[in-house]
Amino acid sequence: MAAVGAVAPSEFRRYPDPATELEVFRLTDPAFASGLTSAHLRQFTRRSDTLLCWSDRNGSRQAYLLDLSAGESRQLTEAAALDPASLSLSADDKSFYHFDGPVLYETPLPAGKPRIVHRAPEAASRTGFGLMQDGSAVFAERQTASAAARSRIFSVLKLQTRRIVELEGEIEALLPRPKHAQLAYRSGGAIVLVNADGSGRRPLKLAAGKTGEAAWTPSGRTLVYLHVPDDPKELITLREHTPEDGSDRQLAKTSQFISVSPNGDASVFAGASRSRASAYVLILLRAAHRELTLCEHAASDPEMVRPIFTPDSQNVLFVSDRHGKPAIYMVPVAKFVEATVSEAQ
C-alpha cells in the first residue's frame, strides 16, 4: 500500500455524452473504486480547484486530494477502516477530518500529523457527521449492546465533547445549518431542528408524506427537500421550507430525482434521476422551473450518483460505475449557470 504523500498521475479522460453531446470528464480510473464524501460536507477548497475524495487505487480505501486542473491525486491517509462519508475540509482549508473506525481524526494539510479528536466507546455504532458554524464536529452514537439503547448527538470543539441531544430510536442523518448555531437531524421519518446547545428542539412541519433527500441552501435560510408521493407514477417534487415562519412551498416537479444539491446561491439545483429508462444527471433552474439534461449517468444504482456543484457553480461532479467500478465524473456547466462567489461554510 502506498504511503501518505504518494502522488498518482492524472487519470482524466474526456468524452462527448451520448445523449446530449456535452463534454464530460472522467476524473478517476474505473479500474478501481473512487467516490465523493457526503454532499453537505466541505469537499472543495474555496477556489474550487481541489477536491477531497476517496479511492482504493492502492488496495484499500484512503482519502486523497485531487487537483482539478492538473489531475494529480495526493494520498492523505493510511486508514484501516476509512469512513468516506466523514471526509471534510475545515472551514479555513488548513486541515481535514475523517473517521477511521471508531476514531475521529483532524489532520493538518498538506501532510501534517493526525490528531485524535474523539474515540467512540466500544459496542457503539455511529451515524452522520458534520461541522457546525463554530467549527465543532458533530456526530451521533448509539450503544448496540442493548435493544433499549438511546441515540445521542455529540459535538466536539477543542477536544471537549458535549452531548447535544439524547433520544429513543436511531438517528439517520445530520445536517448542520450553515451560518446558524443549529442542526437538523433525521429520525423516524421526521426532520428535527435543534439549537447547538440542545435547546429549542422541534420537528419541521414539512409536506405530509415521504421526505426524500434534504439539504440546506448555502445561506442556511431554507431547507430544500424531495417530496416522494405514495404513487410511484406521480412525479417527485422539490420543495423548500423556511424554519423561521414555517412556510413550505413547491419549487418544481422533477424527473424523479433521487438526490438534490443546490449551487452556490441556490438558484440552480443538481439532481440524478432514479429512472433506469432515463438515467440522467440534470440541473433544475429555480426561476424558470425548468430542467436541463446534462448527461447520462448510466449507474447500476442511481443512489451512488449524487451530483454536486463546485463552489463557483461552474461544474457538476457525480459518481457512476458505467465504465467499470465507481468513478468520479465532471460536467462543465458555465454556459448554463452563472458563477457564484465561494464562501467557507
Return the domain boundaries, the chain: 8-119+204-332
Which strands, in side-by-side order, build the sheet including 73-75?
7-8, 73-75, 62-67, 50-55, 34-35
Residue in the structure block whose three cell numbers are 492502492: 58
Span between the terminal Cα atoms of the chain, in Å: 34
What share of the chain in percent tops pLDDT 70? 97
Q: Check whether 58 has a pLDDT greater than 60.
A: yes
Classify burial at 270, counting beta carbons within 10 Å of its beta carbon; exposed 0-12, middle 13-18, buried 19 or more: buried
pLDDT, average across residues 118-146: 90
Under DSSP, the state recorded for 128 is E
**Tens digit of each residue's pLDDT (9 = 90 or more) over 250-269:** 999 999 999 999 999 999 99
Q: Report the CATH number of the 8-119+204-332 domain.
A: 2.130.10.10
Q: What is the pLDDT of residue 276?
A: 83
CA distance 143 to 140: 10
Rounded percentage of the chain residues whose pLDDT exceeds 90: 87
- Banded pLDDT at 344 (limits 50, 70, 90): very low
Instruction: Indicate whether 71 pLDDT > 80.
Output: yes
Identify the weakest region by mean pLDDT among 31-40, 84-93, 148-157, 178-187: 148-157
What is the per-residue pLDDT across 178-224, written as a single tens digit (0 to 9) for each? 999 999 999 988 999 999 999 999 999 999 989 999 999 999 999 99
> Is-above-0.85 flag for pTM?
yes
39-53 mean pLDDT? 95
Mean of the pLDDT values across residues 47-74?
A: 96
Stretch among 40-44, 66-70, 81-85, 169-173 having the lowest mean pLDDT: 169-173
What mean pLDDT value characterizes the chain?
94
- 168 pLDDT band, cuts 50/70/90, is confident
